[in-house]
Amino acid sequence: MDRLEIKRANDMHVHLRQDDMLAQVLPHTISQCAHALVMPNITPAVLTADDLVAYRQSILALLPDGSTFKPLMTFKVAPTTSPAEITKLKAQGAVAGKLYPEGVTTNSEGGVTDFKALYPVYEAMQEAGLVLCLHGEMPGVFSLDRESKFLAVLRDIASRFADLRIVLEHATTAEAIACVKELPANVACTLTVHHLYLTLDDVIGDRLNPHAFCKPVAKRPEDRDALVAAALSGNSKFFLGSDSAPHTVANKECDCGAAGVYTAPVLLPALLELFEKHCKLELLEAFTSGFAAKFYGLPEHKETIVLVQKSWTVPEQYGDDKSGLSVKPFLAGKTLRWQVG
């Protein structure tokens, strides 16, 4: 086979940033995706209905004529979020709220420390039909254990709000995969491209690779294998959320490097190689599009994308050094067998 046509992806976790960086990275997402769930941790964060409208408009203004791409907007669930604001956010087209524990990732300052204090917000989201997306790491815990310690929070919210759709974002451990499987159907999980490829050795093994550093950090080989097995399982609880997170080379290669891996340019080619390697190509479209559409209740789309078997080398970077916007993509310098046709 040298050609594959599938539905355009639904990327249910992507960072598009803002201003000049937004203009630079957006084309990579819209070239492969029909929908993308846009994260709200810009500066300042998307907290209110007015914030959401303004951010969505900044994205739509950059779409080329005739584009059918639809950004799915989210808001940051913060300690100050009120049930009344949830109603306003829903009215302005919010699809989900993203909960960031305090200080666990980029722009998560002012995040949540008391998860139970937000029960009224979860209730309002449940009534509004909004999805609660969780960055599943417990603050103040040893870095490799943060996801495991957070699973108790996930279990608590899921048990108390049976009709609230919940997504554990970017799972990294075998324990998290098992937890999502055992919880009811209202709980799902996104898997990233890079966590399906990386282990902690790729970050700090033979030498430090800041461009493979993300939050949550990649874990052990057996954890990575559990993620791959979940992606290839055909279980509709597990679907694509790339967590593509561009940071400039300067902000990655410094003494306090930013967490995030920029996977948008290689999104479908890298996934196709993985599914092909494991002889599971028949499940690729469901993982990248169908399962997410069902869980989020997205309108069915018919737009397809063609991938062709033609080797290409992933560029070392995108963007101009002079502008200060150069970004190193995932798998930079590597040769991939498939590319967008």
Which DSSP string do the residues of 118-166 spell out, in sequence order? Answer: GHHHHHHHHHHT-EEEE----TTS-GGGHHHHHHHHHHHHHHH-TTS-E
Residue 291's Cβ-count burial label (10 Å; 0-12, 13-18, 19+) is buried
Confirm whether pTM is higher than 0.75. Answer: yes
Residues in the chain with pLDDT values less than 50: none
Q: How far apart are CA 315 and CA 28, in angstroms?
A: 13
Residue the block writes with tokens 């201003």: 19
Domain limits of the chain? Answer: 7-267+278-304
Give yes or no: 163 in active site: no
- Which amino acid makes up residue 307? L
Strand 33-38: give its sheet, edge to edge: 9-14, 33-38, 70-77, 96-99, 131-134, 166-168, 187-191, 238-240
What pairs with residue 202 in β-bridges? none
Residues pairing with 75 in the sheet: 97
The string of pLDDT tens digits covering residues 83-105 is 999 999 999 999 999 999 998 88
CATH 3.30.70.330 for the 7-267+278-304 domain, yes or no: no
- Catalytic pick among 156, 243, 255, 321: 243
Give the pair of three-digit tokens for residue 297.
């209740």
Distance separating alpha carbons of residues 277 and 137, to the nearest angstrom: 31
